[in-house]
Amino acid sequence: MKRFLLILVVFACIPLSAQVDRKEVRAGNRKFAKEDWRSAEIDYRKAVLKDSLSVAGQYNLASCLYRQEDYEGAGKALEAVGDVAPAGVHGAEWYFNSGDVALQKKDYGAAVKAFREALLRNPGDMAAKENYTYAKMMQQNQQGGSNDQNEDQNQEQKQDEDQNQNKDQNQNQDKNRDQQPQSQEISPQQAQQMLQAVQAKEKETQDKVNKEKAAALQSRQKEKNW
């Protein structure tokens, strides 16, 4: 893995010779060789101001920006000559650097395509082969991670649905249980009180009947005596 990481920072940073005799590009090349990236960037920007389609100016500007970890800027500089550079003598280098920029931006699909094009133009470029292999591996890992994430989301959704279904079932069971008549149990003390109440009622009824019988008998005796 360390080998790949080291290769990732290998940008094809040897400045191209100026397409025409321009002092800005030559001045930038001298400062680039001294690793004075910021000063070289200024000279290359002066060159592209005069000729925005200067392959040497834009390509070397991209190299400076890449060294300063400005990957967005490096990509834009390469894209500025994207219609010209790939068909020229430095097409392999242009694709190689485009692939490196894509790697730094984690755009592995674009990196795979760029390194493939670089190898088509220079099959013996070992750095391009290794970077292509690395980009391909990262692309597959990225795609695999997306599939795993989707699977996890589907599993979580299924678990939520199962939990909701179980919750509904429990609620229905509780509702049915509430609707069913509940058997009531009484204590021995309550049963004794109920029995005494019934007996008292029966005694009251019996006393009433006895009084009525006595009254009727007394009435008959009076009538007979009269």
Summarised one tens digit per residue, pLDDT across range 8-31 is 334 555 565 545 447 888 899 899
CATH number at residue 49: 1.25.40.10
Q: Is residue 193 part of a domain?
A: no
26 vs 113 pLDDT, higher one: 113
Q: Would 24 be classed as within a structural domain?
A: yes
Give the confidence band of 149 by pLDDT, cuts at 50, 70, 90: low
The C-alpha atoms of residue 74 and residue 69 are separated, in whole angstroms, by 9
39 close to 162: Cβ distance less than 8 angstroms? no
Q: Residue 192: how many CA atoms within 13 Å on its side-chain side?
A: 3
CA–CA separation, 155 and 215 (whole Å):
91
In a domain, 68, yes or no: yes
pLDDT tens for residues 154-205?
666 666 666 666 666 666 666 655 555 554 556 767 666 766 776 777 777 7
The CA distance from 92 to 113, in Å, is 12
Instruction: Let me know if residue 137 belongs to a domain.
Output: yes
Does some domain include residue 157? no
Domain count, the chain: 1
Residue 52, Cβ density class (10 Å: 0-12 exposed, 13-18 middle, ≥19 buried): exposed
**Helix locations, 180-225, DSSP H:** 188-225
Q: What residue numbers bound the domain in which 37 lies?
A: 2-141
Any domain includes 10: yes
For the stretch 63-106, pLDDT in tens is 999 999 999 999 999 999 999 888 888 889 999 999 999 999 99
Exposed/middle/buried for 209, CB within 10 Å: 0-12, 13-18, 19+?
exposed
Residue 223 within any structural domain of the chain: no
Considering the domain boundaries, does residue 181 fall inside one? no
